[in-house]
A and B are shown apart, each in its own frame.
Chain A
Amino acid sequence: MSDDVKVDLELDLKGLLCPLPMVKVSQNITNVPVGGVIRAVATDPGAMADIPAWAQSTGNEVLSAEKEGAEFVFLVKRLK
């Protein structure tokens, strides 16, 4: 499904330890327009809970959160 989504910003969060992946996504969310999408790639498994929790509590949307090998790939959509 991730192939259909237009990505506005790529974030390489590989090697960052939690909660920094969530911090970086949060810091960068204003760099995409409302409705825009960030594609973030992290290696810390903690991000699998952190980024969706951040999105829920800030009113943004995680379109997908998938494990691809040793990496965790997120598509985060800015809603406001």
Chain B
Amino acid sequence: MEAQQLTTLTGVIDKKMNRQLKQYMDICARCAICKDACHQYVGTGDFTYLPARRAELIRQIYKKYFDKAGRFVPALYEARDPDENLLDELYESTYACTGCRRCMYYCPFSIDTAWILSVAKAILIAAGRGNEMLGQLADAAIFKGDNAAMFEGVMLSGFEDISEEVRAITGNPEHQVHVNKEGADILYVALAGAHSIRPAAVIFEEAGESWTISMFEAANYGYFYGDAEKARLITKRYIDEAKRLGVKEIVVPECGHAYRVAEIFYEAWSGEPMPFKVSHILEKVDEYIKAGRITVDRDKIDGTVTYHDPCQIGRNGGVFDAPRDIVRAVTSRFVELTPNREQQWCCGGGGGIVAMEEFKDVRLKSGGKKVEQLKASGASVLACPCENCRLQIEELNEVHGLGLEVWQVIDLVVAAMPFKATPEADAATM
């Protein structure tokens, strides 16, 4: 292959090299125990999606250019150049991966395939083969951040509309979405959609929380795209905002990767310690319920309710109990999916895959395990605090005719809250 390109691509590995990556490259025994862990391999039987195979592509380059034995006898390791053939397969296996790390959970050496694939993404981007859609979404987010003033008008009018809706729900004319409130305790960094703001605002206002909304969203397509610099810029927007407003805590919404990005990745990208406490909104809601700051009536929700642990919040984020306690507070008919918690099957919708039309086939096939689990649970309502999971499960719901209602957890909470009905509220909802 072309020398210039080769230097560029091996340079990426060199720059990304670290102890864990090196060990993952050196120790994998290719035992393929990971095969039954991966929802995509299980769902498709396609070798491309075998976790060890995804990592093996990077290992083949590593062996050829970074390992003494591999340089000496490349044939022994099938070591090879990052040529077009390799990049074709790498693109397919890397951008399809949802980053759930279920393979790491079962690997006897705890090899983090998703971490290896973060290098794969950097290589693909350097080769001009980064996923176009994710790249565009990342660029659009960065553009919004750089030109915040341009969008302030529409954002503010959007927040005002949501404030109206909040007042209609709670019946309290004082309730609102706080914007640019200096000295608030909490900066709530939501998603762009109103569905992520409205119920949160209801809960914060009813709990009497000192909060303010971020002008930016928590979703980070730079992270999915695999460009650490873009990802850093996207997250930095709300970190700077939090600093400017002088808040004590950043609260992220019902979104899988947003929590992990803020809690775990941002420090590595920015090289500075995260200056704020990062909480998931469900940790706050759980606190409010337990402290009696908000009231929920049990069993206002019809049907049996189950809960899906989003991989980035559960296995990769460590929030297992708060959402369960909340769901149990609103219903007495709670059932678990099996397996659950850290062994939870990925639904197949993570890693930005729902935005990439080209992976629709494998995405739907990879949801097979989730469909089985949902059917076996007998639940009619699913609570799930991750946008990507919900999009995927709603689609599976339709395709497989599961007849499931898919809810955000905060929507369940709002539906279970008793509100003082006031004439204004009645008028507004009519």
State if A and B touch, Cβ cutoff 8 Å.
yes
Q: Are B192 and A19 in contact (CB under 8 A)?
A: yes
Name the 5 nearest CB pairs between A and B, nearest first. A46-B192, A18-B192, A45-B158, A57-B139, A57-B143
Question: Inside 8 A of B141's CB, which chain A residues have their CB?
Answer: 53
The number of residue pairs between A and B whose CB atoms lie closer than 8 Å in the complex comes to: 82
* A71 interface contact, C-beta 8 A: no
Stretch of A4-12, A21-29, A32-40 contacting B (4+ beta carbons < 8 Å):
A21-29
Give the most central of B137, B140, B161, B219: most A CB within 10 Å.
B140
Assess whether B357 is in contact with A22, with CB atoms less than 8 Å apart.
no
Asked if A1 CB lies within 8 Å of chain B CBs, one says no
| A46 and B142 contact, CB distance less than 8 A | no
| Closest A residue, CB atoms, query B357 | A27
Is B194 an interface position by the 8 A CB rule? yes
Interface residues of B in 219-277 (CB under 8 A from A): 219, 221
Q: By the criterion CB–CB under 8 Å, are A17 and B195 in contact? A: yes
| A49 lies within 8 A of B151 (CB) | yes
B415 contacts A by Cβ under 8 Å: no
| Known contacts A23-B355, A27-B133, A46-B193, A54 near B140 by CB under 8 Å | yes
Which residues of chain A from 55 to 71 have a CB within 8 Å of any chain B CB? 56-58, 65, 67
B150 nearest CB across to chain A (Å): 8
* A17 CB contacts on chain B under 8 angstroms: 191, 193, 195-196, 387, 391
Chain A residue contacts of B158, Cβ below 8 A: 45-46, 48-49
> Contact check: which of A20, A23, A53 meets B151 at CB < 8 Å?
A53
B-binding residues in A (CB < 8 A)? 17-20, 22-23, 26-27, 44-50, 52-54, 56-58, 65, 67
B137 adjacent to A22 (CB under 8 Å)? yes
**Listed A/B pairs (25) with beta-carbon separation below 8 Å:** A17-B191, A18-B193, A19-B137, A19-B192, A19-B219, A20-B354, A22-B137, A22-B140, A23-B355, A26-B133, A27-B357, A44-B192, A44-B195, A46-B191, A46-B217, A48-B154, A49-B144, A49-B155, A49-B192, A50-B140, A53-B141, A53-B151, A54-B140, A57-B136, A57-B143
Smallest Cβ-Cβ distance to A47: which chain B residue = B192
B interface residue numbers (CB < 8 A to A): 133, 136-137, 139-144, 147, 150-151, 154-155, 157-158, 161-162, 191-196, 217, 219, 221, 354-355, 357, 387, 391
Complex alpha-carbon distance, A27 and B195, angstroms? 23
Q: How far is the CB of B190 from chain A (nearest CB, A)?
A: 9
- In the assembled complex, which residues on chain A have CB atoms less than 8 Å from the CB atom of B193? 17-18, 44-46
Looking at the complex, which one of B151, B194, B354 makes contact with A44 (CB distance below 8 Å)? B194
* A54 CA / B196 CA spacing, docked (Å): 21
Are B161 and A45 touching (Cβ within 8 A)? yes
A65 to B154, CA, bound (A): 10
Which A residue's beta carbon lies closest to that of B148?
A49
B136 touches A58 (CB 8 A): yes
Q: Is B151 a contact partner of A52 (Cβ separation < 8 A)?
A: yes
**Distance in angstroms between the alpha carbons of A52 and B194 in the assembled complex:** 17
Q: Are the CB atoms of B355 and A56 closer together than 8 Å?
A: no
A14 vs chain B, min Cβ distance (A): 13
CB distance from B201 to the nearest CB of A (A): 14
Closest to B216 in A: A49
In the complex the two chains form, what is the Cα distance from A46 to B157 in whole Å?
A: 11
Q: A61 vs B195: C-alpha distance in the bound complex, in angstroms? A: 27
- Cβ–Cβ contact B140 & A20, under 8 A: no
Is the pair A54, B154 in contact by a Cβ cutoff of 8 Å? no
Say yes or no: B191 contacts A18, CB within 8 Å: yes
A56 to B192, CA, bound (A): 17
Evaluate contact between B391 and A20: CB separation under 8 angstroms.
yes
Residues of chain A within 8 A of B219, CB atoms compared = 19
How many Å lie between the Cα of A56 and that of B196 in the bound state? 25
* Docked-complex contact B142 and A57, CB < 8 angstroms: yes
A56 and B142 CA atoms in complex are apart in Å by: 11
Contact across chains for A46 and B355 when beta carbons are under 8 A apart = no
Extra inter-chain contacts (20) besides given A20-B391, A49-B192, A57-B140, CB under 8 Å: A17-B195, A18-B193, A19-B221, A27-B133, A27-B357, A44-B194, A44-B195, A45-B154, A45-B158, A45-B194, A46-B192, A49-B155, A49-B158, A53-B140, A53-B144, A54-B136, A54-B140, A56-B140, A57-B136, A57-B143
Residue of B nearest to A43 (CB): B194
- Complex CA distance for A45 and B159, rounded to whole angstroms: 9
